[in-house]
Structure formats: C-alpha cells, structure tokens
Structure 1
Amino acid sequence: MFENQPKALYALALANTGERFGYYTMIAVFALFLRANFGLEPGTAGLIYSIFLGLVYFLPLIGGIMADKFGYGKMVTIGIIVMFAGYLFLSVPLGGGTVAFGAMLAALLLISFGTGLFKGNLQVMVGNLYDTPELASKRDSAFSIFYMAINIGALFAPTAAVKIKEWAETSLGYAGNDAYHFSFAVACVSLIVSMGIYYAFRSTFKHVEGGTKKTEKAAAAAVEELTPQQTKERIVALCLVFAVVIFFWMAFHQNGLTLTYFADEFVSPTSTGVQSMAFDVVNLVMIVFIVYSIMALFQSKTTKAKGIACAVILAAIAVLAYKYMNIDGQVEVSAPIFQQFNPFYVVALTPISMAIFGSLAAKGKEPSAPRKIAYGMIVAGCAYLLMVLASQGLLTPNEQKLAKAAGETVPFASANWLIGTYLVLTFGELLLSPMGISFVSKVAPPKYKGAMMGGWFVATAIGNLLVSVGGYLWGDLSLTVVWTVFIVLCLVSASFMFLMMKRLEKVA
C-alpha cells in the first residue's frame, strides 16, 4: 500500500493532517460557541456558519489563481501564517460584546482566506509529484493515502474539542463560554506542527512548489505542450466533472443536516451492549489498528514484521475485550457523534480499496477515474436506499415532533441503519473524492492547475450550499420522499457521467 511512494507524499500528507485536525476541532464546537458566547438565534448562528463554510471552499479558486502566478509553495506558506492569525484571534477570550464579535468575524475571514491559499495548492503539489512517467501510475493511490491523512485529523477532532473544553471547565475552572477558546487554541498548535513538518521535509518536494524560473523550466520540460484546442478540451472535461460532483456533495453532506436530524429525532438516544461500543472513538481506533495490521501481516516479507503485526492485532483485540467486559448500563448517544463514522470508515477502508484497485490494475482492469466517479454517485444513491428501508413505518418529522410533545410512544429506528448508511456513503466517497482530486491534478492544463483545483472546491462549495434543500424537505413530507430525492439526484448525475464518459476518458 505504502511501497514505492515518494517521501514527499508523506510529508505533504502529514502537514495537511495537522491543519485538518485543527480545522475540524474548531468546526466541531463553533456553532455551539456562537450561540453560547453571543446569544445568537439558531438561524443567525447557522447563517454565519454556512457563509464561513462557503468561503472556505470558494476561496481556493482565488488561491489557485494566485499560485499559478506566484508559486504553490509560497501560497501554502502564506496560507498557514494567515490561518494561524485567524485561529489566534479565536483563541483569545474577549467576552460577548461588539469587539469580540468583530474579532470573531475577522478571524473567520483570515481562516477562510488562509485555507483558500493552503488547501488546494497543497493538493496541486501532491499531484505535481506524479507528473513524471515513472510515478504517473501511482497518482490515484497517492491521493487515496493523502485523503486518508485528512480523515485521520477529522476522526480525532470532535472528541478532542469536547474533551479539551471539559478539561478547561473542570480542571481550570473556566466558564462554559471561555472554555470554548481552548478548543480553538488546539488549531494554533496543530498549525505550528504542520509548519514544522512542512519545512523539515521541504527538500523532498521543493521541486514542485513552483514560482521560480528553475522549477518552472523543470515543470515545462516534464509535461507536453498543449495546443489551445487540447487546453479547451481539458477545461471543458473538468467543468463537466465539477457539475456532477456538486450533487454528490449535496447528498453526502446531509450528514450534517437531515441525517443528523434523523439521528436526533428517530434514533434512540441511548445504546447498550456491543452496539454502544461503536460510539467510543477508542474502540474505532482499535479496529483501525486491526485492519492495518492484517494488511501488514499479508504484505510483510520478514518474520519480524509479521510478528509485530500479530502483536498489534492481539493487543487491539485485548483492548476491545476489556472495553466490552466493562460496559456498564446504557450509553448516551448524541446525534452529532454519528459524524465520527465517516472519517473512521475512510481511514479503515482506504487500504482495502487500494488493495482492490491495485489488484485490478495488475490485471489491466482498473476503471478510469471518471468511471470511479460515476460509480461513486451510484453507491451514494444506494446509501439513501438504506435510509428508505430504515424509514419504513416511521412518522413524518412534524408528526414525530407532535407525538413526542404529547407524550405519546413514538417508533425509533435502529442506530445500525444510520451506521450502515455512513458505511455505504463512505464507499461512494472513496470512489469519488480522492479519484476526483487525482483526475483534476492529472488533466488540468499546466498553466491552470491551481485554478482548476480551485474549481473542484467551488463545486464542493456549491454542493454545500445546496445541502439546505434537505432542510426544506424536512417537515410534512414522508421520510421516504426525502431520501428518494437524493437517490434520484445521484442516479441522474451518474447517468450524465456515463453519457459523457468517452469525452472524459479521452483526456484522462
């Protein structure tokens, strides 16, 4: 899985892991902070939150355009510094007045602009590593590893945010509002770590940073010159992919809206027995250890390496057994905790997906990146088919709310339906997201790599804005109708991809 990849990949991936850990730690509690610290209504807090997310995904387009002119490495460095300033503003408790509110808005602008300079351009640099003929075949697997690194940060971030806030309250005696700032400070520390990793290993990837005559000449020599017609064909092909993935992200990011509403309103708020173990991040980490150790056991070439893998597997199983034997009664299940399953599945399933596609590649049967994207749309539709099955016999959201208010006994769905839905959605994500990023890095005309990677994030941003459609459907409509809307969107998008497949594979 990790063999024969350049060291620069791991340096860039780890630098990104640190940044993403800080970002998701901040995101995990930010909406709650807005309401607690400034007394905002849910709608107002949601508006600020959504605008911030929109900027985070729109501004990589500006960052990419700037990087195409001034260099990717330079923009990444400036981006880290700007983000650090933003998180630092958030880390300082200034109260809940006008000055504090203004500082918070300034911090959000800095974070979003810094992310715009950092995120897309780092991914362009990863893609540039694989522009040479000897590494070109490893591009897709490289982005799978890179994407897994992102989700390692996302997996631990929610738990870290909550635990650090609780520690500030109980051990240091800070009030609830001020305790939130300790969660934001984590992002500052994580960015320092990211910058340290970036500069410690910069020598391994300096040649793909761009922005100097030497690197520009080397890049020009490494890629073929494109005619204006070829450039146009590539840009059109990328725009077609962007149009499709909008609807994937619209469906996928229901995890923060209608799927969370479902968890809150239609899933039992408590869990017992084996099922309750799924809601402890330590148990999830042990499963990840087992998966990776099993892969290492089969791939290792020495007895020592196989022995270490077996020891890790036994140790992880022992931890899980101990946790199981010490389950005590019911475990409270809050709706947001379900969102930890997506990054967990990404981290756990990436080596499996890479092994499958590696085997197909060895036989000459690996699907092209555009086909993987189309398959990802179909798989996402299948995830919502699970939700249709989960919703059989349940009331509409408004009926459920009225029944609860009247003290009536209401039907609940098993948490396993939702856990399974996140599993299937993650399969779709692994087919689409890292493969899409890889496709952009490969197909984008050399002069417009930054801008095209920015276009990928703009498509993501538009999809995020369309997530709100799910909120408007949530009410008097049956749950089956709500989920069917997303099934139809995914299948129509997949059909469009297959219709355009020849055109897309021509430039792939």
Structure 2
Amino acid sequence: MFKDHPKGLLVLSFANMGERFGYYTMLAIFVLFIQAKFGFSSDTTSTIFACFLSLVYFLPFFGGILADRYLGYGKAVILGVAVMFVGYFLLAIPTAPDTTGLICMFGALLLICVGTGFFKGNLQTLIGNLYDDPKYSSKRDLAFSIFYMCINIGAFFAPSAAEAVSNYFLGKSGLTYNAQLPDLAHQLLNHTISAEGTTELAKLADAQIAGASSDLTGFATLYIDKLSEAYNYGFAVACFSLVVSLAIFLIFKKTYSHVDVTAVQQAAADKASGVKSSAVELSPAETKERIIALCLVFAVVIFFWMSFHQNGLTMTFFARDYTASQITGLDRFGFSLAAMVCFIVAYYGLISLLKIDQIMGKIGGAIALAIGAIGAYMVYNHMDPTISITPQIFQQFNPFFIIVLTPLSIGLFTWLAKRGKEPSAPRKIGIGMFVAAIAFCLLAFGSFGLPTPASLTSTGGVSPTLVSPNWLIGTYFTLTIAELFLSPMGLSFVSRVSPPKYKGMMQGGWLAATAVGNYMVALIGYLWGGLQLWMLWGVLVICCLLSALFIFSIMKRLEKVAK
C-alpha cells in the first residue's frame, strides 16, 4: 500500500496514529466520565463536549499561522505533543467532584486543545509537502486515504483500551459497569430521586454488593467515586501513546525533514544564498479565488462534522439508553477485539493473495489469510454464550470499517482514474454528504416507537425497550462510507489548492470548519430530551441533504481551482 510513496508518509502516518490512539481513548469515555463524576445533565454535557471538540479543531487554525510565520511545521508538532502530554496527565489524576476537580478537568481540556492546535494541522501540512514533488503529485489523494486509514487504526484500538482499563480498575473495587447506576446515584445524592428510582437503585446496589441497599447513600458515593477513578486511569493511556508518537516523529526525522520548510523560511534561505526564490508565487487574484473556494468547501463540511461527531454524544447516549447491553450469537463477533483483529489479518491476507504479483507476496498473503481465519474461528468458539457490552465500545466500529473499506475505496478510485472517470475531490465530498444522510435515515428507522429520553428519568434514563446493536453498527458502516468520500478527499483538496504562503493556515482552516461543526454537535444534544428520536435523527438527514445540494451547485467553481 505504501509502495511508490515517499518514506515520510509512513513515518508521519504512524506518528499521527499514536497521537490519535490516545485522543480517541480519551474521547470514548469522556461524555460518560463527566456525567458519572459530576452528574451533569445532557444539556450541560452537550455544551462541554461541543466546546471541547470545537477548540480541538479550531486552534489548529492559529497553530498553522504560527508555524507558517515563525515556528516551522516540525517544531510546532513537537511543541504540540509536549503540551498535550501535560493535559492528559492532569486528566488522569483522580480528583473529588468539587470545584477543584472541575478546575483541574477544564485546565486539562484546554491544554489538550492547545497542544492539538500545534500538532494536527501542521503534521498534515508536512504530508502535503511531500506530494508537492512532481514525482509524487499524482498520488496525493491516495496518500491522504492511507494517512486517514492509519488515523483510524489508532482509533480502532482506543475504545477497547478505554473499556479494558476502566473495567479493570472498577473491578478491583468489586464493582461492574451498569448504565443506570450513575444517574440514579446522583439523583439520590441530590435528593431528586423518585420512589420508583429508589427501589430500582436498591435492587441494582444489592446486585453489585450484597446488602448495599442498607446504606444507599454510601453505595452511591462509592460507585461514583470508583467509576470516575476508573475513567481517570483510562485517560492515562493517552500519555503513553504520545511518548510513542513523539519517538517515531523524532527518530525517523530524515524521511520528511527536506519538506519541513515554510514559504517564509524558503524565501529567507534563497535570499541568503543569493539565488532567485524558488517559492511558488500566485497573483493576488489567484490567491483570493483559491481561498474563497476553500471557504465554500469549509462551509459544507461543517454540517458533516456536526452529524458525524454525534458518535461521541447522542449516539453514545443511544448506545447507553436504548441499545441492548447483552448480546448473543453471531453479534458477539463484532464486540471482540481479538476476533476483529483476526478478521483484519485474514482480510488483508486475502487482498495480498489477489493483488500482489510476486510469488512470495502471494505466499505471505495466503499465510496471513489462514492465520487470521483460524484465529477468528477459535476466538469466536471460545466466547461466552452471552457477553455484556459498554456504550463506548460502539466507537470502535467506525475505525474498523475505515481499515476494512480503505483498500476498496483506493481500488475503486484507482480503477476509475485509469479510465479517466474518477470524480474530483469536491464531487466526492458532495457524494459523501448524500451517503451521510442515508446513514441517519437508517438510525431514524431503528428509533421508531422508542420512548423519549425525558420520559425515562425516573428509572435511570434507560429504556425498557432495547434495540439490536445492529442499528448503530449499520449507521456507523454507512457513515464510514460517507467519511471516506469526504474527509481524506477534503484534506487532499486543501493540500492541493492552498496558496503556498498559507498552507498551515488553510489546513487549520479545514480543521476550524470541523470545529464549527463540532460546536454545533451540541445543538442536536440540546434536542435530546422531549423530542422523538426519529425526529432528532431526521434533523441531521435534512442538514446533510441541503449541504450536498449546495456543494453540487458550486461544483464548476471548485473543480476549476482544483485543476
């Protein structure tokens, strides 16, 4: 897959993979953590989540400007890792659910946002710079697809890591996760619990610890403290992953150091050496037209990210409150990390067997296929007949589908390119928006007849009618297809069209548009309560469809600047 690409692509992709593993480990449990520890309502949780996500993706705009003008891209990346490390370390420290705890948490989140601002966009700029070389320029779209897949390899393992660590430390206290307990415990401690809720809490408490119902206040305090502490240890995983990421970035610096040069630095170097500047110069009119085209694309993707990042908010609520927490039969396969890894090994072995011409490559593919298939069969046969799942584990499906579908999307686009029929990057973005609308149509259909969240408060917020996990899995699958059409193609488009003097800033602009979409995630979170669920998902369907229609209406303008 990395054949005929510069070596720096592999290094930068792996460095980003480490950072993303830590970030998505944190994100998998973040909403559950702040509700469990502080007892925040869905509205408050939505606001905090949206503000955090928006800053994570908005600050790269300023990080790009600072890198373009002063720091350089490599130094900005290193600074970002250092700042993020401090943020994750603070978040991993157990604190009381009081003012000090809140200050510590918000301070940690701010540091993570600032660090990401220096890291994310500038690493992407380095990758784009590798493909400014005419030797590699035709492979830019494929490069960003590969880069995007590596991001999702890190994201794939993150939910399982978060679940394993938090369940382990919760289990050390003799407790297990139950979705109803945090809300009921806070209702008891806040003196807002109903008689029905008290009865339910007593039953659940005795199921955790024999006789715990005799002191419900003590049990409620214990459960909240131990669950919150377990999540803290889950956040510590991110610290380790950042160390690995930085090590990769520094040890293999030679593979990308030749493109770690900003337009300002290049001009200064040319001036000092007395040679004519080699920096590409655009006229003011060309620069303006490119920036306008990019801003139009940014306006469209806002609504994709508003929809997509419901995975960490309302879709997590849906997984917790409306989706079966115990599964049997073949459904168990998708919730076993070992089984899914074996499937990926077998899948890539099959691809190698079919596509690689050399005999040794085919033999290697056949061995990987056999090992993966046998491993998956053995893991599945040794699984318990019924397994319990936690809400955060659903977030592993999106990166899993990215890993599986990326070779297919690369193959499809390569096949179309050879025939001169490959859609342009803006056209792919428009198609992605249509597919995203289909994804939420699927979830809306699976939500018909379910009670509203507001009607479930007295019983801990969990519905008596629980739907199959396959509704969420199917939605994630369809959203992943949309993402493959939109996100890596958007990164490639920004890399290709950005004026040379503003590369870092424009990559930051893409992320800033993502930030606006992330902030708007909260708008859907505010609807979580009295609104019927199918109506809530329907709002996202309409937003995606309108965005798709808009981008197709300006397609000629976008395709003109992309040539």
Using the size of structure 2 for normalisation, the TM-score is 0.83
Q: Deviations over 1:23-48 (max 9, x none)?
A: 12222333444455566666555544
How far is the alpha carbon of 1:172 from its aligned partner? 10
Task: Give 2:139's aligned residue.
Answer: 138
- Residue 416 of structure 1 pairs with residue 417 of structure 2: no
Q: Which residue pairs with 1:2 in the alignment?
A: 2
**Between 63-72 and 299-308, the greater mean CA deviation after superposition:** 299-308
The answer to whether the 8 Å contact 1:207/1:215 transfers is: no
CA 1:250–1:99 in 2, change beyond 3 Å: closer, same or farther? closer
Contact kept in structure 2, 1:257 and 1:470, CA below 8 Å: no
* Distance change in 2, residues 1:452/1:266 (3 Å): same
476-485 or 174-183, which deviates more: 174-183
- Residue of structure 2 equivalent to 1:163: 164
Match of residue 496, structure 1, among 540, 550, 554: 550
Instruction: Quote the Cα distance in structure 2 between the aligned partners of 1:5 and 1:278.
Output: 33
Q: What does residue range 210-225 of structure 1 map to in structure 2 within 5 Å?
A: 210-211=261-262, 213-214=265-266, 224-225=280-281
What letter matches 1:192 in structure 2? Answer: V
Q: Is the 8 A contact 1:22 1:157 kept in 2?
A: yes
Q: 2:238 aligns with which of 183, 187, 197?
A: 187
Structure 2 Cα separation of the partners of residues 408 and 431 of structure 1: 35
C-alpha displacement at 1:60, in angstroms?
0.5
The equivalent of 2:495 in structure 1 is 441
Q: Deviations along 1:131-169, whole A, 9 cap, x unmatched?
A: 122211110111111111111111111211232234445
Q: How many residues align?
A: 506
Give the match for residue 102 of structure 1: 103
Range moving further from structure 2, 346-355 or 485-494: 485-494
The offset of 1:49, in angstroms, is 3.6
Pair 1:112 & 2:113 matched: yes
Paired amino acid for 1:287: F
**Structure 1 unpaired stretches of 5+:** none
Query: 456, 463, 468: which one pairs with 1:401?
Result: 456
**Residue type of the partner of 2:80?**
G
> Which residue is equivalent to 2:155?
154
Would the aligned equivalents of 1:80 and 1:191 in 2 still touch at CA under 8 Å? yes
Residue in 2 aligned with 1:308? 364
Residue aligning to 1:291: 347
- The answer to whether the 8 Å contact 2:28/2:312 transfers is no
Partner of residue 239, structure 1: 295
Instruction: Indicate whether 1:202 and 2:257 are aligned.
Output: no
* Rounded Cα–Cα distance in structure 1 between residues aligned with 2:305 and 2:443: 17
Task: Indicate the RMSD between aligned Cα atoms, in angstroms.
Answer: 2.9
Correspondence for 2:128? 127
User: Which one has a bigger Cα radius of gyration?
Assistant: 2
1:380 partnered with 2:431:
no
Deviations 1:385-443 (A, max 9, x none): 22233234x23425873898999974x44322221111111000000001001111110
1:109 deviation in Å?
2.0
Q: What is the one-letter code of the residue matched to 1:505? A: E
Map 1:33-52 onto structure 2 (within 5 A).
33-35=33-35, 44=44, 46-52=46-52
**Distance in 1 separating the partners of 2:458 and 2:291:** 53
User: Does the aligned pair in 2 maintain the 1:131–1:222 contact within 8 Å?
Assistant: no
Query: Does the Cα contact within 8 Å between 2:433 and 2:486 map onto a contact in 1?
Result: yes
Aligned to 1:368: 424
Gaps of 5+ in 2: 175-224
Distance in 2 of aligned mates of 1:391 and 1:177 = 30
Equivalent residue, structure 2, for 1:28: 28
1:443-464, Cα deviation, whole Å (9 max, x unpaired): 0111111111111111111111
User: Taking structure 1 as reference, are residues 223 and 46 closer, same or farther at Cα in structure 2, changes over 3 Å only?
Assistant: same
Check conservation: 1:152, 1:343, Cα contact below 8 A: yes
What is the identity percentage for the equivalent residue pairs of Structure 1 and Structure 2? Answer: 49
- Deviation, 1:121, is 0.6
- State the Cα deviation string for residues 301-357 of structure 1 (Å, max 9, x = none): 222221121111111111221233233332223333222111111111111111111
| Distance in 2 (alpha carbons) for counterparts of 1:482 and 1:102 | 33
Paired letter, 1:57: Y
Paired residues of 2:267 and 2:279 also in contact (CA < 8 A): no
Measure, in 2, the Cα distance between the counterparts of 1:440 and 1:218.
26
1:64 pairs with 2:44: no
- Report how far residue 481 of structure 1 moved: 2.8
Residue matched to 2:314 = 258
Match of 1:390 in 2: 446
Corresponding residue number in structure 1 for 2:203? none
